[in-house]
């Protein structure tokens, strides 16, 4: 029985499990009630009763989810390691600012975060969806039921487990382990396993909530599309769906690029995007969403493209579930550094069932209404905005298919091998594989996103269009030529991409200022497209000329444990060894490893201090100086190796990006020895490898916390100041203690950045006014203290981040414009 175990706190888990069950039951009640409200809408009284019950159920569900969230957070923050989730993802030494990251590191916590955002969005939809409330909320509540099963953690029979609860006890998750046969096992679990070191970054506190809000928001356009098909009303859903799609595009796009920023600042692959399967899994739903948004705008203005709009927007949410399947079941194996390890077949089948149910609902609604969907039989004009917007949307969709097929190779390759007998493996060079295809997507979409702004719906005057585009194309050509010459972009397809990006920038600025007269409410599309073009430019110029500026000139080889010898040779060329205090040329700078931070305990971050100086080539005076602090976890969680985080010097036109690939393991025995130095007079100097010590005299004022005075003690401290080559570093005070005139002891003082240890070993009294001090000084030999550093130059990467901000700002301008309109007439919808 649970009562036999000493020190456990059972009530938080019991309370949390109660909230999980309550939220699940309440979501079921809400779904059933809303479904009946829609089914009985011809009977106002009955429908109204069901509607109120549905609202009440969803409110209770929301309160229960928030309570579940709070209970798990309580368990994590109070270090209740009797719970597997707290033990697995947190530790006592973890800084408080990263405790939230513990919440969504695990499967259950991230499902709860997703569910929480659905609750928030559902409450808004409940208040704003009006006549479509019963149908949209029925879909939202049904999805909440599906998500609720993910954290139930209940068994049906002996073999069928539904979901995984975050409130399971450690002894229940590891049944059979001998430690849990002891009533006092908690005494043997003093600390948790700790948070993944890659997640100990401020971006991982804010990036997952924003990304999951983006994931969650895809449900709302999905729900409105299903509601429109369910009711057969293809007008009232348009305005809210456009508004939610704009919000979704902004938030999900921001979340994706926050992930890029996290990778850039925290991972050491040297960039912000690697076409990793998890990155792709979040990008593809966004691309399909943007395609659906643009076809919905076509429908709003012309009555065309409703069918493809419904397909795109429903597919966007289904792809979120598919990306969940890819990243959480472990099916991606070693093809992704970001994916969850997976919970085996149970989660795989669970997610496939949910995807199948949602797909079945979408297909059934489309099939049911297929013949009655509004269509215009007359073909659209080639020289019309809707035609080329449709082409651009299809291109985005085809690009998303290509990314999905390649990313899903681990999913379909076993079947393909069974059918053909051939092995299918992910591309050996993912960057080259995706870039060679997606560069053409970027070119086409970049050109179209600017050109369609000048077109009109239904038909466009060709002469006027040609004149306007001719002017902008000429300016863009000159701009692209200058940038291409300055950045030495010589690959022809990237020259075309450069022109497309410049054309998008020039054309959208010209359109917003000259044609739209800079009317703020109308600037949303041109600003968003301007941001997209700027993103393309930023990607191109930051990546094309990205270069390593660290070169190994020492000939010292390192094993970087790469898959091929060629990769190892490349890393050996581009990594430089920095011995402590020895300047080495890196690009136009001289870099000097000047020390590292003190470390206490295990799994702690070490900051390596690297000084960069740029000198005038004539006078050799220092004209620029900065410090970088790349850090690493040495042997994290007891594993061999290191987990490094970069440090970057930011300029307006470039970034210098550095990270550690190797370092002295200071946990091993130090072979350096103490050397004796005698000082007698104030000002006497002891020279060291990379600095010196200045003797400042003696003092009987010993206040060191380590020293506990006893009667008869003679305690004296030596006052010393340590200097590096750059100036004073630290005052230190080694202590000499003579107890009862018999026992001699001492207390060392250290200068961590100089790897210096000072011991006051003897007090030599030569006369009444003549006293000398013997100091034993130990300092690590520079050759025994080193780091292996890689430095990369990213030119104009700030153009990329600026483009993201501008694009998101454009989304929100458009959202404001949509929300300020009233009714379907002002949206331009016509009966078709």
Measured CA angle at 261 (ends 260, 266), to 5 deg: 100
pLDDT in tens, 591-607: 999 888 765 444 467 88
In this prediction, residues 141-161 reach a mean pLDDT of 87
Is the pLDDT at 662 greater than 90, yes or no? no
70 and 15 Cβ atoms separated by less than 8 Å: no
Q: What is the mean pLDDT of the chain?
A: 88
Is the pLDDT confidence value at 579 over 90? no
Number of CB atoms found within 10 A of residue 122's CB: 28
- Nearest one of 413, 437, 407 to 335, comparing CA atoms: 407
Neighbours of 165 (CB within 10 A): 23
Helix, strand or coil, per DSSP, at residue 216: helix
> Picking from 2-16, 182-196, 461-475, 665-679, which range would have the lowest pLDDT averaged per residue?
665-679
In whole angstroms, give the CA distance from residue 692 to residue 587: 30
Q: What pLDDT, in 10s, does the model give residues 393-414?
A: 999 999 999 999 999 998 888 8
The confidence score (pLDDT) of residue 571 equals 83
For the ranges 138-152, 163-177, 246-260, the lowest mean pLDDT is seen at 163-177
Calpha distance 814→253 (Å, rounded) = 15
pLDDT at 638: 52
Over residues 262-282, the pLDDT tens digits come to 888 776 666 788 898 889 999
Other Cβ atoms within 10 Å of 155 Cβ, number: 10
Taking 90 as the threshold, does the pLDDT of residue 509 lie above it?
yes
- SS3 at position 40: coil
Tens digits of residue pLDDT in 367-378: 999 998 998 888
Q: Is residue 20 within 8 Å of residue 165, measured between CB atoms?
A: yes
User: For the residues of 114-156, what is the DSSP string, one character each?
Assistant: HHHHHHHHHHHHHHH-GGGHHHHHHHHHHHHHHHHHHTT-EEE
Q: Report the alpha-carbon distance of residue 367 to residue 471 in Å, rounded.
A: 48
CA distance linking residue 467 with residue 471, whole number of Å: 6
């Amino acid at each position: 029985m649970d009562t036999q175990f000493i020190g456990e706190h059972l009530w938080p888990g019991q309370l949390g499990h109660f909230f999980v069950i309550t939220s699940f039951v309440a979501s079921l009640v809400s779904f059933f009630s809303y479904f009946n409200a829609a089914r009985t809408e011809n009977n106002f009284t009955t429908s109204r009763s069901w509607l109120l019950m549905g609202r009440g159920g969803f409110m209770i569900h929301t309160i229960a989810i928030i309570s579940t969230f709070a209970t798990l957070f309580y368990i994590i923050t109070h270090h209740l390691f009797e719970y597997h989730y707290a033990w697995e993802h947190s530790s006592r030494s973890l800084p408080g600012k990263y405790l939230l990251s513990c919440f969504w590191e695990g499967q259950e916590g991230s499902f709860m975060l997703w569910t929480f955002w659905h609750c928030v969005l559902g409450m808004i939809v409940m208040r704003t969806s009006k006549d479509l409330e019963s149908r949209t909320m029925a879909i939202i509540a049904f999805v909440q039921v599906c998500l609720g099963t993910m954290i139930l953690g209940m068994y049906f029979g002996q073999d069928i487990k539904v979901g995984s609860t975050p409130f399971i006890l450690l002894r229940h998750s590891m049944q059979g382990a001998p430690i849990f046969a002891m009533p006092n096992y908690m005494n043997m679990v003093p600390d948790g396993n700790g948070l993944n070191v890659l997640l100990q970054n401020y971006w991982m506190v804010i990036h997952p909530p924003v990304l999951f809000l983006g994931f969650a928001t895809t449900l709302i356009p999905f729900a409105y599309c299903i509601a429109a098909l369910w009711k057969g009303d293809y007008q009232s859903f348009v305005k809210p769906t456009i508004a939610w799609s704009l919000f979704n595009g902004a938030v999900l796009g921001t979340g994706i690029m926050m992930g890029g920023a996290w990778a850039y600042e925290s991972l050491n692959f040297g960039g912000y995007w690697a076409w990793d399967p998890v990155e792709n899994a979040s990008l593809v739903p966004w691309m399909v969403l943007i395609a659906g948004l643009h076809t919905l705008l076509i429908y709003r203005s012309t009555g065309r493209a409703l069918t493809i709009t419904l397909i795109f927007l429903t597919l966007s949410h289904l792809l979120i579930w598919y990306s969940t399947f890819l990243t959480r079941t472990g099916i991606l194996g070693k093809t992704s550094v970001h994916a969850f390890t997976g919970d085996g077949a149970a989660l795989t089948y669970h997610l496939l069932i949910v995807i199948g149910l949602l797909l079945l609902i979408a297909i059934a609604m489309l099939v049911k209404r297929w013949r009655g969907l509004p269509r215009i039989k007359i073909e659209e004009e080639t020289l019309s905005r809707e035609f080329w917007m449709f082409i651009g949307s299809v291109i985005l969709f085809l690009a998303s298919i290509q990314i999905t097929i390649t990313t899903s190779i681990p999913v379909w390759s076993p079947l393909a091998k069974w059918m053909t007998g051939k092995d299918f493996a992910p591309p050996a060079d993912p960057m080259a594989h995706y870039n060679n295809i997606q560069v053409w997507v970027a070119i086409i979409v970049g050109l179209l996103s600017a050109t369609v702004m000048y077109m009109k719906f239904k038909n466009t005057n060709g002469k006027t269009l040609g004149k306007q585009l001719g002017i902008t194309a000429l300016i863009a050509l000159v701009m692209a030529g200058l940038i291409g010459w300055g950045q030495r972009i010589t690959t022809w397809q990237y020259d075309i991409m450069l022109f497309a990006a410049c054309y998008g920038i020039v054309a959208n600025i010209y359109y917003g200022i000259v044609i739209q007269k800079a009317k703020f409410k109308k600037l949303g599309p041109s600003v968003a497209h301007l941001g997209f073009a700027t993103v393309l430019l930023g990607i191109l110029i930051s990546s094309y000329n990205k270069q390593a500026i660290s070169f190994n000139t020492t000939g010292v080889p390192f094993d970087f444990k790469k898959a091929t010898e060629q990769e190892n040779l490349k890393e050996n060329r581009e990594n430089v060894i920095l011995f402590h205090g020895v300047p080495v040329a890196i690009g136009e700078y001289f870099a000097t490893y000047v020390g590292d931070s003190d470390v206490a305990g295990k799994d702690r971050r070490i900051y390596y201090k690297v000084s960069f100086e740029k000198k005038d080539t004539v006078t050799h005076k220092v004209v620029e100086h900065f410090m970088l602090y790349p850090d690493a976890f040495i042997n994290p969680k007891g594993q061999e190796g290191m987990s490094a985080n970069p440090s970057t010097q930011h300029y307006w036109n470039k970034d210098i990006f550095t990270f550690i690939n190797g370092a002295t393991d200071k946990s091993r025995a130090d072979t350096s020895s103490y050397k004796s130095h005698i000082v007698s007079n104030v000002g006497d100097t002891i020279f060291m490898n990379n600095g010196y010590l200045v003797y400042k005299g003696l003092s009987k004022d010993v206040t060191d916390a380590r020293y506990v005075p006893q009667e008869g003690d003679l305690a004296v401290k030596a006052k010393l100041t340590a200097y590096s080559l750059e100036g004073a570093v630290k005052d230190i005070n080694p202590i000499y203690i003579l107890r009862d005139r018999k026992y001699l002891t001492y207390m060392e003082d250290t200068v961590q950045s100089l790897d210096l240890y000072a011991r006051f070993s003897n007090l030599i009294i030569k006369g009444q006014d003549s006293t000398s001090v013997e100091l034993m000084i130990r300092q690590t030999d520079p050759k025994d203290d080193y780091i292996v550093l890689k430095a990369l130059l990213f030119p104009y990467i700030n153009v990329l981040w600026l483009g993201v901000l501008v694009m998101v700002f454009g989304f929100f301008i458009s959202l404001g414009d949509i929300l300020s309109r009233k009714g379907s007439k002002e949206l331009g919808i016509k009966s078709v």
